[in-house]
């Protein structure tokens, strides 16, 4: 048996803690923390750190702290995905599926998917709709695949739904093409980056301000303008009437 | 609002449809490029082609966002220099076959502070005793603190208060243990 010596530093311990704390607050807001404990995340973080130490290639020009931070978070998220499989009651899983089906139906016809409209269609209370919407990121963890090195999915990402029939898939592709056209019509920087950051990646105004090297107010203004352009374009394509 | 266009929902559909778009396959940006674009002001410094591709490619957007989170976590860690009471440690074992322990093993954590030992029973090697040992006194002591030891797969090997520099328990499934990486978290 050969033992490998790879010392862990205080800064790295601090980094694991920081990432665990970010992951907990992002994916397990107050009241839902029973799904993952801090010490479990620390464990996965340390495992990720070990892997990073073993795989790190200095010649690629990425500093080790950033390289390891990405691997630490990846390992935590890989394992979170496997967690709530048996913990979400069947009844709640069905509710999430029901809501998803109605939402897709509304999107196909270009109708509003605002919680109020979903409540009306589902004949649920608004509060119930919000509760089930909040469960949705959790149910996406039900996908039992593991993350490989090139798979950058994070909880909340869309998992390809193979249950759609060809006609539905075609409809979905058509909507996606319209959306693509509207995205292409925006300036890549900053409009499209801001739209993707805010609505696709759920980044905060501050995060985008850092990325774009401008003020939060400027990002807010860019968002308002780009959102308007995007909505106008989607309307022209017959979506969201 | 009833007539509100849900950009987020439309982008979800776009995401799921274009993620595996074969026309983008050969054009994805390298990790190094995405990392640089994830630095503060990185978008500003990037080329037109890179920004165009990033803003239209779900796969590169996701990797870029994960680099962003990594860079932010490193920055936050450097800025805040938080004090922490938890102790984290790990040990590694590189063996031909790491699954299952059939003979006595003693491993020291990388920091040298903890020693994990596994003693299988001679007549029933899948059963045995696992112990964790740590200094009973001095600056590195964890006496009376709660410790958890896990194997690579997250299986809890030991859990409890460290007393007299030791934590131990009987274990029935030593054949399930993978010590290629093991961790200790002391709270």
How far is B121 from B127, CA to CA, in rounded Å? 6
Inform me whether the pLDDT recorded for B62 exceeds 50.
Answer: yes
How far is B123 from B136, CA to CA, in rounded Å? 33
Taking the whole predicted model, whether its pTM rises above 0.80 is answered as: no
Spell out the SS3 assignment of B9-28. HHHHHHHHHHCCCHHHHHHC
Q: Which of A104-108, B133-137, B156-160 has the lowest mean pLDDT?
A: A104-108
A211 touches chain B (CB under 8 A): yes
Record: contact B86-A17, CB cut-off 8 A: yes
B17 touches chain A (CB under 8 A): yes
- The helix-helix angle for B58-80 and A10-27 (nearest 10°) equals 120
Going residue by residue through chain A (241 aa), what tens digit of pLDDT does each one get? 444 446 778 888 899 999 998 898 887 766 555 566 888 899 999 999 988 988 898 888 899 999 999 999 999 998 887 765 444 566 777 888 888 888 877 877 777 777 888 888 898 888 788 777 766 544 343 333 334 444 444 444 434 445 566 777 788 888 889 999 999 999 988 999 999 999 999 899 998 998 888 899 999 999 999 999 999 998 888 876 5
Which residues of chain A are within 8 Å of residue B32 when distances are taken between CB atoms? Answer: 60-62
How far is A151 from A148, CA to CA, in rounded Å? 5
How far is B139 from A120, CA to CA, in rounded Å? 63
Chain A: give the shortest CA distance to residue B100, in Å. Answer: 14
Residues 6 or more apart whose Cβ sits within 8 Å of residue A91 = none
Highest mean pLDDT among A4-13, A123-132, B91-100, B148-157 belongs to B148-157
Record: contact A183-B56, CB cut-off 8 A: yes
Which segments within B128-180 are labelled E, that is strand? Answer: 128-133, 146-150, 156-161, 166-171
- The helix-helix angle for B48-56 and B58-80 (nearest 10°) equals 100
This model of the complex carries an ipTM of: 0.83
Residues 6 or more apart whose Cβ sits within 8 Å of residue B170 = B127, B128, B129
């Amino acid at each position: 048996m050969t033992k490998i010596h790879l010392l862990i530093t205080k800064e790295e311990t601090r980094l694991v803690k920081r990432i665990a704390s970010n992951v907990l607050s992002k994916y397990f807001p107050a009241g839902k923390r029973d799904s993952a404990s801090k010490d479990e995340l620390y464990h996965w973080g340390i495992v990720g750190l070990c892997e990073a130490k073993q795989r790190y290639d200095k010649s690629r020009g990425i500093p080790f702290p950033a390289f390891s931070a990405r691997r630490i978070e990846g390992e935590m998220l890989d394992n979170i995905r496997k967690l709530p499989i048996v913990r979400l009651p069947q009844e709640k899983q069905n509710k999430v599926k029901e809501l998803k089906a109605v939402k897709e139906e509304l999107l196909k016809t270009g109708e509003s998917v605002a919680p109020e409209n979903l409540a009306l269609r589902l004949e649920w209370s608004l509060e119930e709709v919000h509760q089930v919407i909040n469960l949705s990121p959790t149910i996406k963890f039900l996908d039992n695949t593991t993350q490989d090195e090139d798979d950058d999915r994070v909880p909340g990402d869309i998992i390809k739904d193979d249950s759609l029939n060809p006609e539905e898939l075609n409809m979905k592709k058509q909507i996606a093409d319209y959306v693509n056209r509207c995205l292409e019509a925006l300036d890549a920087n900053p409009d499209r980056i801001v739209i993707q950051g805010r609505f696709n990646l759920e980044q905060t105004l501050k995060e985008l301000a850092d990325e774009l090297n401008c003020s939060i107010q400027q990002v807010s203004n860019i968002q308002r303008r780009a959102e308007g352009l995007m909505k106008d374009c989607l309307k022209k394509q017959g979506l969201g009437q | 609002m009833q007539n509100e266009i849900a950009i987020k929902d439309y982008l979800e559909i776009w995401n799921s449809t274009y993620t595996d778009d074969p026309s983008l396959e050969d054009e994805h940006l390298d990790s190094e490029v995405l990392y640089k674009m994830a630095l503060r002001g990185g978008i500003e410094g990037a080329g037109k082609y890179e920004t165009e591709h990033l803003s239209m490619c779900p796969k590169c957007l996701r990797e870029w966002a994960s680099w962003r989170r990594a860079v932010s976590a490193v920055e936050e860690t450097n800025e805040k220099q938080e004090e922490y009471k938890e102790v984290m440690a790990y040990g590694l074992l590189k063996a031909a076959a790491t699954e299952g322990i059939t003979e006595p093993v003693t491993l020291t954590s990388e920091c040298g502070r903890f020693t994990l030992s596994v003693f299988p029973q001679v007549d029933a090697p899948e059963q045995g005793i696992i112990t964790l040992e740590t200094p009973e006194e001095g600056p590195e002591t964890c006496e009376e603190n709660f410790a958890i030891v896990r194997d690579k797969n997250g299986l809890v090997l030991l859990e409890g208060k460290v007393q007299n520099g030791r934590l131990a328990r009987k274990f029935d499934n030593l054949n399930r243990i993978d010590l290629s990486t093991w961790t200790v978290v002391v709270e």
